[in-house]
Structure 1
Amino acid sequence: MKKIFFGAVVLAAGLFSTANAQIQEGNWMVGGNLVGADFGLNKGGGYNFAIQPKGAYFIKDNVAVGGYVDLGFSGAKDAATTFKYNVGALGRYYVSPGEAGVDNLLNHGRWFFEGNVGVGGSSISKGGASSNGLNFGFGPGYSYFITPNIGLEGLVKYDANAGFGNVGYTHRITFGVGFQIYLPTSQAKRIANEAK
């Protein structure tokens, strides 16, 4: 009975510390968000789909920098198609429990703030408006660690493009849900070597 109790205590301690271990200096974060998907089933119904692959390296505890790509398209039968693209750098800051009066909802997760800057734009077929130039965005999110190395995330973000084209400035609020894989540098190197 003592062995079972001791094993349960060790397991619980390991689970409660997972939100700290993944966001330490030297770790990698790789994954992406499914920003939105909508496929209309009615007559004249349209479609909307976007993905955001991203990767980052933790330069110090709770702080990651990296890159992102944002690709999306939408349209409807016999209507114009819109293509959206963005690529650039991103940064994340994970809030420590109790910091700035923010507490985590669950012991296995962390709040974070994400910001990005890069180039991007959107274009609409059939002579529609287009915008190309500076892409930037920022917003809060929450990562819940479903395993020691995988986080399920939700992210609300203001996303904007400022630049050239028929429309000089476009902006929107996005809500993304996705997964991130958190790997120590040693595991990332091993995976890269196995892929060769």
Structure 2
Amino acid sequence: MKTLTLFFFILFALTLTSNAQITKGNWLVGGNLTYGIQEGESNSNGNKSTSKGSALNLNADLGYFVINKLTVGLTPYFGFGNPEGSNNSSIGFGIGPFARYYFLKPEKTINIFSQLEYYYGNSYSNGKKESESNGYSIKNGVAIFLNNSIAFEVSLNYNVSKNNYVSGYDSKFKDFNIGVGFQIHLEKTTNQ
């Protein structure tokens, strides 16, 4: 317990002196890990069915601050899904654009952000292509700047995706998940 208290005290002390690099011309590099429960609806030849399952996703971010507090960029992802009641799990990967906005002043140690993503990807099961998917994600969270470059973040995410399966049917998935991650804010350099 003493170790945990000491960790949070050091974390708090470090955050008191940090200034975030969320200003125009800087870069954002990082990622997060999310876990959530999926709920889906499938449609095959007019027959509808519902399903549930769990998903684990690893997302990376590479963005550029076009104005203060607003970054745009690309986010590749890798995911693992396990439908409830099925022996077949699937893996997926893809990429898409994102935009992220920080709501508080750049000098704040703790900042609130919102991120909107669109993605396109493929999923595979048992080594064979299973589906093509596209969708969007809305992410809201808190970034805690440990120093002027590194932020720890926690977010609540809402995802909607549509899958077109090779076997001829389609499905829509919606899920909420919780994400944790780190972002590195790289300061622009100037040539003297």
TM-score band by shorter chain is 0.5 to 0.7
- Alpha-carbon spacing, 1:49–1:140, altered in 2? closer, same or farther (3 Å): closer
**1:162 paired to 2:170:** no
Q: Find the aligned partners of 1:182 and 1:126 in 2 and give their Cα distance.
A: 37
Q: Find the aligned partners of 1:183 and 1:71 in 2 and give their Cα distance.
A: 24
- Alpha-carbon spacing, 1:181–1:59, altered in 2? closer, same or farther (3 Å): same
- Alpha-carbon spacing, 1:167–1:15, altered in 2? closer, same or farther (3 Å): same
Q: Find the aligned partners of 2:124 and 2:174 in 1 and give their Cα distance.
A: 14
- Alpha-carbon spacing, 1:48–1:17, altered in 2? closer, same or farther (3 Å): closer
Q: Could you tell me whether the CA contact under 8 Å between 1:131 and 1:161 is conserved in 2?
A: no
**1:114 paired to 2:121:** no
Match of 1:172 in 2: 175
Q: Find the aligned partners of 1:28 and 1:120 in 2 and give their Cα distance.
A: 25
2:180 corresponds to which letter in structure 1? V
The structure carrying a bigger strand percent of its residues is: 2
- Alpha-carbon spacing, 1:133–1:171, altered in 2? closer, same or farther (3 Å): same
Q: CA deviation at 1:132?
A: 2.0
Match of 1:64 in 2: 71
1:1-196 paired onto structure 2 within 5 Å: 15=16, 18-19=19-20, 22-36=21-35, 49-74=56-81, 79-96=87-104, 107-125=108-126, 130-165=130-165, 166-186=169-189
Q: Find the aligned partners of 1:167 and 1:53 in 2 and give their Cα distance.
A: 27
Larger-gyration structure (1/2): 1
Normalising by structure 1, what TM-score?
0.67
Q: CA deviation at 1:125?
A: 3.9
Q: Find the aligned partners of 2:17 and 2:66 in 1 and give their Cα distance.
A: 23
Q: CA deviation at 1:154?
A: 0.8
- Alpha-carbon spacing, 1:123–1:171, altered in 2? closer, same or farther (3 Å): farther
The structure carrying a bigger helix percent of its residues is: 1
Give the structure, 1 or 2, with the largest relative contact order (CA under 8 Å, sep 6 or more).
Answer: 2
* Count of paired positions: 154
Q: Which runs of 5+ in 2 are unaligned?
A: 1-12, 37-53
Q: Which runs of 5+ in 1 are unaligned?
A: 1-11, 38-46, 98-106, 190-196
Match of 1:192 in 2: none
2:91 corresponds to which letter in structure 1? F
- Alpha-carbon spacing, 1:159–1:131, altered in 2? closer, same or farther (3 Å): farther
Deviation by residue 1:110-137 (Cα, 9 ceiling, x = unmatched) = 000000012124444499x954232211
Structure 1 stretches of 4+ with a deviation exceeding 3 A read: 14-17, 121-127
Q: Find the aligned partners of 2:120 and 2:139 in 1 and give their Cα distance.
A: 18
Q: Find the aligned partners of 1:161 and 1:124 in 2 and give their Cα distance.
A: 18
